[in-house]
Amino acid sequence: MAVRSECFTTEATSAIMVLRRPFSEPGGLFVMLKLSVAVLTVFVLCLVTDVSGEEPHKPVPLIFDTDIGNDYDDVLALGMVHALQSRGECRLLAVTITKDHNLAAPFVDSVNTFYGRGNIPVGVCHSGITNDQGTFNGLANRTDEGRLRYPHDLQSGRDAPDAVDVLRSALAAADDGSVVIVQVGFSTNLARLLSSPGDSFSAQNGTELVRKKVRLLSIMAGAFRQIPEKDGRLLDHREYNVVTDLPAAMRLSKSWPAPIVWSGFEIGLNLPYPYQCILEDYRYATHHPLAEACRAYSPHPHDRPTWDLTSVLYAVRPEHDYFDLSEPGRVRVQNDGLTTFEPANGGRDRYLIIRQDQKARTIEALTHLASQPPQTGSSGIQFSSPSP
């Protein structure tokens, strides 16, 4: 809802000026009261009416596709999605996973349950790609005195539906042209979605379904600048999410039929998440799955890049000047894993750019959203007692 400064029109301004009139002036008190009511009326109308005449922003229907377990930015990004949903800015339709380990889905379910949303569908892939447990997915099984530290009811990826079915089901049920998909792992699931045939969810094949339902793919993948090595040399960068399932990334870049905004490796790299915030901002809960995952992944304190978080922030708040956008064009994933960009009028792709003067505010938004507590009463978490 837009509340604009134009609310304070002539009537309101004159009323404000009249408030300075002394009570002793004849009729001053009556005029003041009358015009105070006018001010209040105008102000309240401004609050309840979208004066721009635009529709109020609806929550963005969002699908989160993640390789959770391979690094901790996925976990902080998922926390951000929950905070944005609590603020009425998005609605998480489903989480689909591209890390092929049976504890990835239970860990996602435990995070969703922590935020009071344990019924969100979780889909898995059977790709063999990054099939190790990872450093923190095991937190799903952590117990204290025989009870799960992070309660959840999805006990294994074996009990979860296939990601393509979850994607097709969520897309088929959504309004046309509404869905934003945030992909912060490999392109395995979305490439498979494109080649999926019609089924009981929709008669349309995957490509048709994406073209009809998806408004934007906000993706953390690739690199659109050379990246400095430790010795300072600038080199081409073959980005992890691209090269880990290269055939899928190539299929996605070739055939995805809806707009894409790419957060290249350089964006998260330039927006480090302060480790001090991991240590301090999550202490409202006795045990916090985000902070514990970060500490498990990174026992030696250091600020880490915010790669996956940036794709969530852009997906839900594209107009807040956290980033600049490139001109439109075409991103291609090459055989050797490099991503190239060619400008083109009306092109499908753009990539994020971060200016020096945007960095402090953007990092602040990322850290505040990731560490926002669950809504009171919506989850069963144990809040820490206040310090004496």
What is the binding site for Ca ion (CB under 5 A)? 67, 74, 109, 118, 153-154, 184-185, 308
Q: Residue 107 CB, nearest distance to Ca ion (Å)?
A: 12
Name the minimum Å distance from CB 96 to Ca ion.
13
CB atoms within 10 A of CB 161: 15
Instruction: Judge contact between 332 and 349, C-beta under 8 A.
Output: no
Contact 97, 137 (CB under 8 A): no
CB 30 within 8 A of CB 69: no
Q: Which of 274, 289, 241, 279 is nearest to 362 (CA)?
A: 274
* Cα–Cα distance, 55 to 2 (Å, whole number): 9
In angstroms, what CA-CA distances link 322 with 87, 201, 240, 315, 363? 18, 37, 24, 11, 9
How far is it, in rounded angstroms, from Cα 53 to Cα 50?
Answer: 6
| Min CB(49)–Ca ion separation in Å | 40
Residue (of 331, 307, 326, 333) closest to 238 by Cα position? 333
Least separation in angstroms between residue 233's CB and Ca ion is: 26
In this structure, the strands spanning 234-235 and 227-228 are antiparallel
CB of 289 to Ca ion, least distance (A): 14
**Whole-number minimum distance, CB 292 to Ca ion, in Å?**
18
**Cα 12 from chain centre:** 40
Q: Which is nearer to Ca ion, 157 or 185 (CB)?
A: 185
Q: Residue 71 or 292: which CB sits closer to Ca ion?
A: 71
Nearer to Ca ion by Cβ, of 74 and 349: the residue is 74
Q: Could you tell me the two tokens for 235?
A: 């080199």
Antiparallel, parallel or unpaired: β 349-353 and 339-343: unpaired
Give the shortest CB-366-to-Ca ion separation in angstroms.
15
Q: Which is nearer to Ca ion, 100 or 109 (CB)?
A: 109
Of all helices (H) and strands (E), which one includes residue 73? Answer: helix 73-86
> 146 near 110, Cβ under 8 Å?
no
Nearest to 75 by CA among 135, 163, 151, 119: 135
Start-to-end Cα distance in the chain: 41
Q: Which CB atom, from 12 or from 150, has the smaller least distance to Ca ion?
A: 150
Taking the C-alpha atoms of residue 74 and residue 65, their distance in angstroms, rounded to an integer, is 9
Nearer to Ca ion, 185 or 206 (CB): 185
Which residue, 67 or 266, has its beta carbon nearer to Ca ion? 67
If the CB atoms of residues 35 and 167 are measured against Ca ion, the closer one turns out to be 167
Q: Which residue is nearest to Ca ion (CB)?
A: 118
Question: In the bound complex, what is the minimum distance in angstroms from residue 120's beta carbon to Ca ion?
Answer: 7
CB of 262 to Ca ion, least distance (A): 14
- Among residues 213 and 245, whose Cβ is nearest to Ca ion? 245
Phi-psi region of 314 (alpha: psi -120 to 50; beta: other; left: phi over 0): alpha
